[in-house]
Structure 1
């Protein structure tokens, strides 16, 4: 129990530090938000009045307390461009990004883990060479380049899948799946390649351990050794990489959503940056930071579930 209390306390402290850093970064950026809204030729009285309405004429600690109080209540401010609550904009885009990320993560796990295990046992065979080359290709080719290739083959040439746009799942589940297939594959291609490499190395390292040789000498079937011992002990480093993959998928979705015109968080980030919508950018940065910290927290907890000895350290 003490282990989990420490982890929860560390999680909360990290979130607080992230909120301070997020707020501070956007306070030191050059430029006046009022000029972005009113224009450079605005009347000084109008600028001063808008400063009062936005609260940026107050001391920085007052502004931070006001902002963090709103964050705790789910209020991230109002977008300059859309004139809507930032929390509502993020909430509407969040569903698209979550669907894309989950689809990509499922593809990453379904492909990366089995292929990594297979390569660990057949890496020296000639027929394993094409698979190894594909994994190397996934590490080398950026996701947006692979996206162009997928669009050219499956949308332009074959016409099987749409090249852009999004259909909500509640409106048409089949059309939603089609609209997310190509962007999910584009993200998962590189992520699966990373996972394949680490699964392969982790499994091969565990199979060289003495406990595996002892089990083999006792006549324990190879499948039982693999499923009951090797895979479990290989999960710790693999879980670390999979946790990092989640953040990579979120980062990759920022580019991929723009390539495929998906109305998710990535596209919202691009539009907010282009329009210098500071409240929206600040809310999005905080959202992404919380997701990353939360994923790392979940990975730490899963460590203790896989290997209970970690809780004793």
Structure 2
């Protein structure tokens, strides 16, 4: 049963990847202009344009270009940048590491804050402290992450001078400088995500607490905390798991903006720069990697959903 479910989800994942790669490739090829001529400028000779086109492979049939691009993705060869003529693979790998650190730390902190706060707000929904948590989460949802980033820089960097306003230092170069430059962008991303997840955790717990099995558990002598731990959390985890997967993908979009605000050399910054420079090879590769990340998260969420709830597994 489990193997059949995994096989079905994996097949859907692979088909989605194939369709996404074809759409990205064709849409970017529909943009007017020869990539080689754009890269060399209007003063380039025809011989120079033809030489660069042959080097980049843009003079070949579209199907050949597509297959070579997909084959390169599978082998880790992302091709050459049109703007810098450099190998894209080490550039993208370095930038992706920065973005993954930013996204990973922000999501972990968001869950560590949202789960206990949401549970507390649900259990004490009719009391002052529960209402204050709900109000605070509503304020967090209303503030965009880029605005939170600007406010944080204004207060803690410009006015107080406690933390650097921008930049990035790899952790293996200077661990202290790395942590100092990580604090503000992580707070900007975490504040919004934690607020959203807190609301969903609260709603999920409240819905579970109204179920008959919870009332039966309470009637048998269990406390609210015991009833939730034994019977409620598994059911409440399903909607929260779905929202967490969705928020993880939206966190990627938020990280693009935050990287620009704090001048962090991540994948989002590279994507925006590549779009500005009309670096077709870099744009299509970065967008495809973001699609792979999104589809992978959805695959893992679907799989976890079926592992947690046997009813969904049997219906599949």
TM-score greater than 0.5 by the shorter chain:
yes
User: How far does residue 122 in structure 1 lie from its aligned partner after superposition?
Assistant: 1.8
Q: TM-score, normalised by structure 1?
A: 0.96
1:24 partnered with 2:40: no
Whole-angstrom CA distance in 1 between matches of 2:129 and 2:154? 29
Whole-angstrom CA distance in 2 between matches of 1:82 and 1:226? 57
Segments of 5+ residues of structure 1 without an aligned counterpart are none
Taking only aligned residues, the RMSD between alpha carbons, in angstroms, comes to 1.4
2:67 matched residue in structure 1: 65
Comparing 71-80 with 51-60, greater Cα deviation is found at 51-60
1:26-51 Cα offsets, whole Å, 9 max, x none, are 11112221222221122233323333
Whole-angstrom CA distance in 1 between matches of 2:146 and 2:12? 36
User: Among residues 210, 213, 234, which one is paired with 2:212 in the alignment?
Assistant: 210
Q: TM-score, normalised by structure 2?
A: 0.95
1:79-98 Cα offsets, whole Å, 9 max, x none, are 12222222211101111111
Following superposition of structure 1 onto structure 2, how do residues 124-273 of structure 1 map, counting pairs within 5 Å?
124-273=126-275
Does the CA contact (< 8 Å) of 2:121 and 2:129 recur in 1? no
Whole-angstrom CA distance in 1 between matches of 2:53 and 2:107? 44
Number of residue equivalences? 313
Whole-angstrom CA distance in 2 between matches of 1:50 and 1:161? 45
1:188-246 Cα offsets, whole Å, 9 max, x none, are 11111111111111110111001001111111222211112111110010000000111
User: How far does residue 310 in structure 1 lie from its aligned partner after superposition?
Assistant: 2.3
User: Among residues 33, 36, 51, which one is paired with 1:49 in the alignment?
Assistant: 51
Partner SS, residue 165 of structure 1: coil
Partner SS, residue 168 of structure 1: coil
Whole-angstrom CA distance in 1 between matches of 2:50 and 2:82? 17
Comparing 48-57 with 87-96, greater Cα deviation is found at 48-57
User: How far does residue 121 in structure 1 lie from its aligned partner after superposition?
Assistant: 1.7
Comparing 145-154 with 284-293, greater Cα deviation is found at 145-154
Segments of 5+ residues of structure 2 without an aligned counterpart are none
Comparing 206-215 with 20-29, greater Cα deviation is found at 20-29
Does the CA contact (< 8 Å) of 1:144 and 1:255 recur in 2? yes
Does the CA contact (< 8 Å) of 1:107 and 1:185 recur in 2? no
Does the CA contact (< 8 Å) of 1:206 and 1:234 recur in 2? yes
Following superposition of structure 1 onto structure 2, how do residues 102-141 of structure 1 map, counting pairs within 5 Å?
102-141=104-143
1:80 partnered with 2:79: no
Q: 1:220 to 1:124 in 2, by over 3 A?
A: closer
